[in-house]
Amino acid sequence: MRKSLYVTVTAICAALYAVGSYATSYIESPWGIGQFRPAIVIPAFFAIVFGPWVGGIGAALGTFIQSIFRYGHPWLTLVSGTPANFIAFFLLGYMLYKKFTWTRFVVSGIAVLIAANFVCALGVLAYFLFTGIFPPNLPYMFYLGFAIGLTLWWYITMLPFLLLLTPVLIKAASLLIPHFIPVHIVEASLKSELPSKMFSNVLIFSGIAMVLVGLATFLPSSEMLVVAYKPAMREITLVGIRLMFLLTGGGCTVTGAIFYILKLFSR
């Protein structure tokens, strides 16, 4: 790409991501921090189509701008959301730019969500410790539960949007602006109107894994996920997490099964 186009699409990515993220920023995790963010499909699309630097920088700038408007300062996002978003979408673009396939898309998407969200959760934890929001003498399980809980919450709320909406954006763009979409992506998107068998399998197995995590919240040890709460709120919060995993996991499993069945009948 020409440098002018490179800068332009990066700026567009950042602006769209900032607006899209802010629109759902007031829907927070059970821990009172960590936003519901279906807008991750925006930098995912730009990373796949225009490359890792566009996706990474656009996502980092977008979440940085959004955080200033949301919280009034950039300090938390500097050690959490900004680096985590850059890592996520730079890696996604690196793994998929000029080598897009459905299989690579699914595997890469899951890998970057787990890794980047854990980095972000550790950043939030470090900020809370540094600023004194969390005192340094709390039990180890408190910090572990907070980091793992945030990671799981982001992962489970982002995965369905990444897997289901990003291909829709790619498909729409390949029809509306085909000159801007690399040929290999257009060809991969047009090979079949239905997602691949791998795509369906990942939805099914990811959904089953989510359901199992939801069922695991019935175990006494699952209280570590809500240890950051006062005792009176722990049970309510744990029930909410349980329902989130069970419902999202069930939805992913059913959706993957439907795609799988349709794929069989389309042969």
Query: 130 with 252, same domain?
Result: no
Query: 33 with 89, same domain?
Result: yes
Q: Report, as an integer, the average pLDDT of 86-96.
A: 95
> Which has more confidence, 254 or 98?
254
Which residue in this structure is represented by tokens 């809370």? 128
Domain ends where: 191, 216, 240? 191
Number of domains in the chain: 2
Q: How confident is residue 77, by pLDDT bands cut at 50, 70 and 90?
A: very high
Q: How confident is residue 192, by pLDDT bands cut at 50, 70 and 90?
A: low
pLDDT > 90? residue 186: no
Query: 117 with 79, same domain?
Result: yes
Query: 179 with 266, same domain?
Result: no
Query: 84 with 212, same domain?
Result: no
Query: 33 with 60, same domain?
Result: yes
Identify whether the C-beta of residue 88 lies closer than 8 Å to the C-beta of residue 70: no
79-89 residue pLDDT tens:
999 999 999 99
Secondary structure of 174-212 in the HEC alphabet? HHHCHHHCCHHHHHHHHCCCCCCHHHHHHHHHHHHHHHH
Query: 256 with 147, same domain?
Result: no
- pLDDT computed for residue 40 by the predictor: 96
232-251 residue pLDDT tens:
777 777 887 788 889 888 98
Query: 181 with 203, same domain?
Result: no
- Residue 203 half-sphere exposure toward CB, CA atoms < 13 A: 24
CATH number of the domain to which 56 belongs: 1.10.1760.20
pLDDT > 60? residue 193: no
> Which has more confidence, 141 or 228?
141
Mean pLDDT of the chain: 86
Instruction: Note down the domain range covering 265.
Output: 193-267
Give alpha helix (H) positions in the chain: 3-23, 41-50, 52-71, 75-79, 81-96, 102-131, 140-176, 183-190, 197-216, 231-265
Any idea which of 28-37, 147-156, 219-228 has the lowest mean pLDDT?
Answer: 219-228
Domain ends where: 130, 157, 191? 191
Query: 165 with 226, same domain?
Result: no
Query: 165 with 203, same domain?
Result: no
Query: 185 with 223, same domain?
Result: no
14-32 residue pLDDT tens:
999 999 999 998 887 777 7
- pLDDT computed for residue 251 by the predictor: 87
Identify whether the C-beta of residue 255 lies closer than 8 Å to the C-beta of residue 203: yes
- pLDDT computed for residue 10 by the predictor: 95
Domain ends where: 191, 226, 248? 191
Query: 80 with 123, same domain?
Result: yes
Q: Report, as an integer, the average pLDDT of 163-173.
A: 86
> Which has more confidence, 191 or 150?
150
